Structure 1
C-alpha cells in the first residue's frame, strides 16, 4: 500500500497518486507541487483536461505561482493530454510515456535538476481508455528509477470507479492528501498550502471548536499571513465565528488573517466583532 503524505513531503523521484472530490483542494495541492518544482529549478509539465491550459495558468497565478513568467522562460509547460506533441492521434499510454521520457532527457540536457509532472488523469476515465491507464502506470514506473522524475497523478473520485481508484493507489509509491483536521460528511477542515492557511467546507458549529482551533493554531505558527478559505462554508455559529475573530486578534500588527467567505458567514463574523479587529481582512464577496 502507498504511503500517505502531504504535498510538501513529495521528494525528487517520487511517483504519487492524488484522489480527490474537491477540485479547489486539488488545485491547491497541484499549485504547491508546481511551485516547489519551479523553486528547485526543475522543468515542470502539467497535463490538464478538466481545465484548459489558460484556465490552469490563471488558477496557479491566483495561488501565488508565477505561472506566466515560468511559461515565458520555458520552465513550465501546460498541455491537454490530447494536444501534447507525443499524443498526436489521441492520448495513449505509449505516447504519454514517450513524451515524459523525452522531456526528462531534454531537461537534463538543459542542465535542469529534473522533471516534475502533474497529470490530470481524466483522459483515462473514458471507457475506451481505461486499459490505457493500467498500461501507462506500469510503463511509467521505469522512468522514476534514477530520481530525475517526480510526478503526481490525479484521479477524480467522481470519474473513476472504486476498483480503478484502488489500482491507482497501489500503482504509486505515495498517496497525497491535504492534512485534514476534521473530515466528516458535514464538515471538512484541512490545511491550505497556497496561499497558506486553512480551508473549511460544510457546516461549522460549537461541536467543531477543537479541530478549528487546532487548524488555526498551526496556521498561526507556520504562516506569516493566514488565509482562511471559508468560501464553501454554508453555515457557521457564533461560537466558531468567535474563535476565528479571537485568533485574528492575537496576531501582531504586522500580520493579518485574510478570510474569504460568503456573505452569510461574513455577517456572523461581523456580528461577533470582526469589523473591529484590524488584523482580520475580509475581501468583499458577491
Structure 2
C-alpha cells in the first residue's frame, strides 16, 4: 500500500514516489538534487529535468526540458518521456521538476492541477518524481497547498502538512491528517481541481484524524461548484456522518456521499 512519509535525503526516493523538496532561498537546485539525478545511471532510469537551465551542473544540460517550450502540457511531456524510456530499456523515468514562478504554472490553481496530475502519473507509471520549490520564490500559502498534494516530503521544512491528499493506486485518493479552519481553503481548492478533471472523486478517509465544520463547508462548497460531479467519502465514522447531517449538508444539491 502506498503511504506518505518524510525523507531524510533524496537517496530514499523509490519508484512511484512524488516528493516535495522545499529549498532555502540560497540553495541551488542542482547542488541539492545532484545525487538524485546521478542515481539515474546507477539504477538504470531515464532522467529528465524540467525547469530553467541550471546555474551549476552543466553536465546535465542535455537532460533539461524548458517548460515554456514544451509541446502540450507538462503531463503530456512526461508521459512521452516515460513511453520513450520503456522503449529504450530503462527501468523507469526519473523526473526532477524545478518549479519556478516564471514557468507556465504560476497561479495556485494551475500548480495544484499540475501537481495532482504528476501525483497520478507517478502512481500509475512507477516514475520517480521530485518537485523542487525555492522558499524564496513562493508565498507560504501557495507552498502549503502544493505540499498537501505530495505524499513525500524533504527539505528545509520536511514536516508533513496538516493533511495530505494523494493517489491510492487506481482506487481513489487517500486523505489523511487534520482538516480544520486553517486547512479548509486548501482542501476546497484541491477538491475543485479534482472535480474539474473527473466525474466522481473517491476519497479514502480511513486515516483522516479530524474533520471540522470549516472542512465540511469547504467540501460542500467545492461539490456545489460542479453539481454534475460527485464526491464519495469512504471510511468516515459515525461522528463525521452525523455532523454532516446536522450541519445541513446532506441534501440533494450537495453531491456528496459519505460511507463507512
TM range (shorter): 0.5 to 0.7
Equivalent residues of 2:67, 2:104 under 8 A apart = no
2:106 pairs with 1:132: no
Equivalent residues of 2:48, 2:95 under 8 A apart = yes
1:15–1:158 distance in 2 versus 1, CA, 3 Å: same
Task: Please report the RMSD computed on the Cα atoms of aligned residues, expressed in angstroms.
Answer: 2.8
Number of aligned residue pairs: 155
Secondary structure, counterpart of 1:153 in structure 2: strand
Equivalent residues of 2:23, 2:29 under 8 A apart = yes
2:34 pairs with 1:31: yes
Separation of aligned partners in 2, 1:144 and 1:130: 21
Separation of aligned partners in 1, 2:126 and 2:105: 32
Select 2:68's aligned residue among 82, 86, 90. Answer: 82
Match of 1:161 in 2: 139
More helix by share: 1
Equivalent residues of 2:50, 2:66 under 8 A apart = yes
Secondary structure, counterpart of 1:12 in structure 2: coil
Shift of 1:47: 1.2
Separation of aligned partners in 2, 1:128 and 1:8: 29
Separation of aligned partners in 1, 2:124 and 2:64: 24
Equivalent residues of 2:99, 2:133 under 8 A apart = yes
Gaps of 5+ in 1: 72-76, 88-94, 181-286
Secondary structure, counterpart of 1:151 in structure 2: strand
1:60–1:179 distance in 2 versus 1, CA, 3 Å: farther
Match of 1:103 in 2: 81
Match of 1:67 in 2: 60
Shift of 1:145: 2.1
Q: Deviations over 1:157-201 (max 9, x none)?
A: 122111111112111121122799xxxxxxxxxxxxxxxxxxxxx
Secondary structure, counterpart of 1:155 in structure 2: strand
Separation of aligned partners in 1, 2:122 and 2:106: 27
Match of 2:8 in 1: 5
Separation of aligned partners in 1, 2:98 and 2:32: 12
2:37 pairs with 1:40: no
Equivalent residues of 1:18, 1:152 under 8 A apart = yes
Equivalent residues of 2:24, 2:156 under 8 A apart = no
Separation of aligned partners in 1, 2:141 and 2:157: 25
1:36–1:163 distance in 2 versus 1, CA, 3 Å: same
2:22 pairs with 1:19: yes
Shift of 1:4: 3.9
Structure 1 segments of 4+ aligned residues over 6 angstroms from their partners? 124-127
Secondary structure, counterpart of 2:69 in structure 1: coil
Q: Deviations over 1:87-109 (max 9, x none)?
A: 4xxxxxxx001111111111111
Gaps of 5+ in 2: 159-260
**Counterparts of residues 125-274 of structure 1 (less than 5 Å):** 129-146=107-124, 148-177=126-155
Shift of 1:130: 2.9
